[in-house]
Amino acid sequence: MEKTLVLIKPDAFGKNHAGDILKIYENAGFKIIAVKVMKMTPELAAKHYVEHIGRPYYPALVEFMTSAPIMAVVLTGDDVIKKVRELNGATNPAEAAEGTVRKLYAADKTKNAVHASDSEASAAREIPIFFSACEIFD
């Protein structure tokens, strides 16, 4: 069964949208197999966003992601990576389809409510950054 990492970012978590977002994923048939609320550190951000280090937007990204608590979630289900990204919608909420997480809960392209792994390789790299094997119940 495929797994993906979702991060409910500080903007959406701080506005109490975590439960609404999780319900969207559950209603789509996905199972939550790990969840935690945490504050991302700059070191954790560097591990997670390693491919973005050195890009002009990286400092602002780290500042945003470390500004307040996030919720890290592992979901499982058939074709979960692709389908969760579809449920999340376009990165820019102005371009996101009606009913998607970002259309409903994101403020802009930067404060866009959620992150989700974009491939099996990304999920395999990202999940252990946030969860140990004993924290995942599959």
What's the burial of 75, exposed, middle or buried (CB within 10 Å: 0-12/13-18/19+)? buried
52 assigned to active site: no
Catalytic residue among 17, 48, 52, 115: 115
Residues paired with residue 34 on neighbouring β-strands, in sequence order: 74
Q: Which SS3 state, helix, strand or coil, does residue 12 take?
A: helix
Helix then strand then coil, in percent of the chain rounded to 5, is 45, 15, 35
What's the burial of 27, exposed, middle or buried (CB within 10 Å: 0-12/13-18/19+)? exposed
Catalytically active residues are: 115
